[in-house]
Structure 1
Amino acid sequence: MRGVMAAVLLAVFSILSAPLPLYAGEAETLLEQMRERLELYGFVESRVGARTGADPDEKALSMAETRLQVEAFTGTDSLDLKYRGDIRIDAVAECVAYETREAWAFSRPSDSLDIKVGRQTLTWGTGGLVFLNDLFPKDWQSFFIGRDAEYLKAPSTSAKAGLFSDVANLDIVYTPKFEPDRFVNGEYLSYWDASRQKTVGNKDLLRTDTPDRWFVDDEFAARLYRNVEDYELAAYLYRGFWKSPGGTDAQGRSIFPELNAYGASIRGTLGAGIGNLEFSYYHSPESRGGRNPSARNSEIRYLAGYAREVWSDCNVWVQYYLEQMLDYGEYRARVDAGKPRDEFRHVLTLQVTQLLMNQNLTLNMDAYYSPSDRDAFLRPSASYKISDRTTASLGANVFFGESRQTFFGQFERNSNVYMALRYSF
């Protein structure tokens, strides 16, 4: 039944966004419009990073790659088309890789409806580098080794519809095949393997059983939102799977249990800055109220933040994030090895951005600190526009932790520094 409903939904998206039949003359006119509106962009970039200390489970280089990205945009009066793709020569992974980052068609059949179908990067929610109701795929490996921040948000092949009215607006996203996070699996970063109670790396890549059946292992997400004076109110819904592994099966493979998420947020003016509040209830049905050790427990996640410009060209954003594990008593009763998780995980975040030298120099600091886990992550960076086309960057990813079993603590041996040079065209 789920497969039938998914197929029907995708068919509706396709029909609504499909162009009407064209005569030869009309087709030539549209092709001429597309040629006239064609825009081409891109860049060539080299990035090199190295670990600041020895890690017996990984290479000394954390990153060594050259990337070519090409972006094309065109359209007609009724249809927009975009393509963006990367070719990467990767010395750490010892491969040449291609990825389509975007390949979509966008249409607005009426003032109350727009549709985008294809490969696209999706996002919503109020957090800054903290994601509660934004359950679209993230690339944590790229983020932790120092790739450009744009690569944190990974693409998915989806159909998105936006419905607009005077009362409220509704976004609906259907992804016919599950798109997981690009989580740490040992390829670039070593990690803590709870099943073996030790740190492992590129010789012990994480084995997973990922749901991958089209129109069966699918995802559905929705956002209902409206503005009330200076505030944006939103409610969220998600049905799919945990985006990163949330359990193990009998063969010892990491699995992605089913996940249903329900949340809400508010963002708006608060004093001289912008405040945001957000929460999300993660219902993990396969955990059976915490009694199933093979699936992650349900959780409630909370976020409060405040951002403002503290002086000219300097913006600061502070956030407090809380994860609450539900059915904690059942979890503690079944934990038989290692360090058990706390019922509450607290994280404080800080983002500071300063523009200098006529905004040609950008200094940035992203910081996470967990007083409950007693670990932290710092991501300082600096980028300088040498010219309109050339940008040089350097930065670091620094991990601290009293235990290798906490989220940031497990990556302490992966602390790295990197530099990059990009030429845009």
Structure 2
Amino acid sequence: MKLRRSVRTASCPSCSLAKRVFNSLLIGLLPVSSFALDTELHGFVDGRAGVRTQNDPHEDDRSLSELRLQLDSKTYFDWGEFNARGDFVYDDLADDRGKVDLENGDGFVDLRELNALFTPVAWADMKVGRQILTWGTGDLLFINDLFPKDWNSFLLGRDVEYLKAPSDAVYASLFPSFGNIDLAYTPRFDADRYVDGRRISYWNPLTQSIAGQNAVIDAERRDAWFKDDEIAARYYRDVKGYEAALYLYSGYWKSPTGYDADDANYYFPQLNVYGASAKGALGRGLFNVEAGYYDSREDRGGDDPLVPNSEARFLTGYEREVAKNLSAGMQYYVEWMMDYDGYKDGVPDRSTARDELRHVLTLRLTQMLLNQNLTLSLFTFYSPSDNDAYFRPVATYKISDHWMVTANANIFVGKDDYTFFGQFKDDSNVNLGVRCSF
């Protein structure tokens, strides 16, 4: 996307003092020759409360109890723009509210963005700093999007925008004549904000049981600058009306899927991913297809039970409006484990083994009512191979231009405790949120 050079006016007159303070800080941080042309300042106050629908012996009965203030600023200069976005959070369920961890999003501050966007040459844009990155074609399914996710926020019922965790990266968009190229370099590995047992229970393969606050995962971080780094690339262009793309990733599994027996701790094994996708109009709707090969570099033989095997992943989807203000989207997703015989031979006795193929079907229904002020949606994940499911109903009502209320739920069902969605069935929750935007 080309850099926008237009000067804008802040939409909230009461923010003028904050603008002047923010510009003063920027002038102190940036070269003397840089003068702010204008600043936009927006944000919201969001309060959310949630409870579990059944007893989880390893977690609190309340799933959410928090109040957050988000401030989002864009400051325009003659050389580009400077973006800052952060949340100030009071979380009543946090163990240590005074401690700030910007990697995990813990504490009273969660820095979402802090970056500079500029155009060094006519055929390229660059963004440097903390930013939210995404690509790929799936709807809540990710194959070639190896940027960090916040699975705790997603499963607990925060707004879906918090599924995306920030990256500390250099991002370049190049526009040569033969297509478009995006490059993302992360000098220090940015992991997912993964389920670790503090707020959501999980299946522990070591004890072959559900665990939570009694067995919190504190994985070994990869935090060496320019050594534990990541590179992601995408090339895309139009092919007969479809956007076709190729992807490359070199880094690590985003969640701690490896186990170091010597240190008795989880870690992030090395990973390469090679993929492709296409999306475009088909009939009266939109069609997408995406595939990726996960090259698990530390277990290419597939016989180490402590490191994930390589996998081939595939998804396809279709979305269209089926009635006035009612849309439906369906997807099929599969994970195919490579070297499955070697994996089976390495599984310890009395341990559960994964299937060679894991299938997932999804259905999204969205209905707009009351002049589109009321939005009802249901997202369903169903795995016929695991015999489990996950339901995400959401109702959002826009009271005015500033006020909005939301009710949502995360409902998990499953026959077995060790399947992907089945492990969370004691963590099913319902939530209510109120937001005031400015």
TM-score of the pair, normalised by structure 2: 0.89
Who is 1:90 aligned against? 91
Residues 222-371 of structure 1 mapped to structure 2, 5 A cutoff: 222-250=233-261, 251-336=263-348, 337-371=350-384
The answer to whether the Cα contact below 8 Å between 1:258 and 1:284 also exists between their aligned partners in 2 is yes
Pick aligned residue for 1:112 from 123, 127, 138: 123
Give me the whole-angstrom Cα distance separating, in 1, the residues matched to 2:140 and 2:74: 28
- The superposition leaves residues 118-154 of structure 1 with CA deviations (integer Å, 9 ceiling, x where unpaired) of 0000000000000000000001110000000000011
The answer to whether the Cα contact below 8 Å between 2:59 and 2:200 also exists between their aligned partners in 1 is yes
Task: Give structure 1 regions of 4+ aligned residues with deviation exceeding 4 angstroms.
Answer: 27-30
Cα shift at 1:110: 2.9
Cα shift at 1:30: 4.2
Q: Which amino acid aligns with 2:340?
A: Y
The answer to whether the Cα contact below 8 Å between 1:114 and 1:162 also exists between their aligned partners in 2 is yes
Give me the whole-angstrom Cα distance separating, in 2, the residues matched to 1:63 and 1:130: 24
Give me the whole-angstrom Cα distance separating, in 1, the residues matched to 2:123 and 2:168: 24
Who is 2:406 aligned against? 393
Cα shift at 1:28: 7.3
Cα shift at 1:288: 3.3
- The superposition leaves residues 94-134 of structure 1 with CA deviations (integer Å, 9 ceiling, x where unpaired) of 42421110011001133311100000000000000000000
Aligned pairs, how many? Answer: 397
Give me the whole-angstrom Cα distance separating, in 1, the residues matched to 2:122 and 2:241: 23
Cα shift at 1:247: 1.6
Give me the whole-angstrom Cα distance separating, in 2, the residues matched to 1:51 and 1:372: 27
Cα shift at 1:294: 2.0
Percent identity of paired positions between Structure 1 and Structure 2: 49
Pick aligned residue for 1:221 from 214, 219, 232: 232
The answer to whether the Cα contact below 8 Å between 2:362 and 2:380 also exists between their aligned partners in 1 is yes
Give me the whole-angstrom Cα distance separating, in 2, the residues matched to 1:89 and 1:216: 35
Cα shift at 1:29: 7.4
- The superposition leaves residues 207-235 of structure 1 with CA deviations (integer Å, 9 ceiling, x where unpaired) of 31121111100000000000123200000
The answer to whether the Cα contact below 8 Å between 2:303 and 2:345 also exists between their aligned partners in 1 is no
Pick aligned residue for 1:144 from 140, 155, 166: 155
Who is 1:47 aligned against? 48
Cα shift at 1:379: 0.5
Q: Which amino acid aligns with 2:44?
A: F
Is the counterpart of residue 167 in structure 1 residue 168 in structure 2?
no
SS of the equivalent of 1:329 reads: helix
Q: Which amino acid aligns with 1:118?
A: G
Give me the whole-angstrom Cα distance separating, in 2, the residues matched to 1:291 and 1:408: 26
The answer to whether the Cα contact below 8 Å between 2:137 and 2:289 also exists between their aligned partners in 1 is yes
SS of the equivalent of 1:286 reads: coil
Gaps of 5+ in 1: 1-26
SS of the equivalent of 1:142 reads: helix
Give me the whole-angstrom Cα distance separating, in 1, the residues matched to 2:409 and 2:208: 28
The answer to whether the Cα contact below 8 Å between 2:45 and 2:69 also exists between their aligned partners in 1 is yes
Give me the whole-angstrom Cα distance separating, in 2, the residues matched to 1:419 and 1:207: 30
Who is 2:114 aligned against? 103
Who is 1:379 aligned against? 392
SS of the equivalent of 2:260 reads: coil
Give me the whole-angstrom Cα distance separating, in 2, the residues matched to 1:288 and 1:229: 37
How much is the aligned-residue C-alpha RMSD, in angstroms? 1.3
The farther-off stretch of 320-329 and 78-87 is: 78-87
The answer to whether the Cα contact below 8 Å between 1:287 and 1:293 also exists between their aligned partners in 2 is no
The answer to whether the Cα contact below 8 Å between 2:300 and 2:310 also exists between their aligned partners in 1 is no
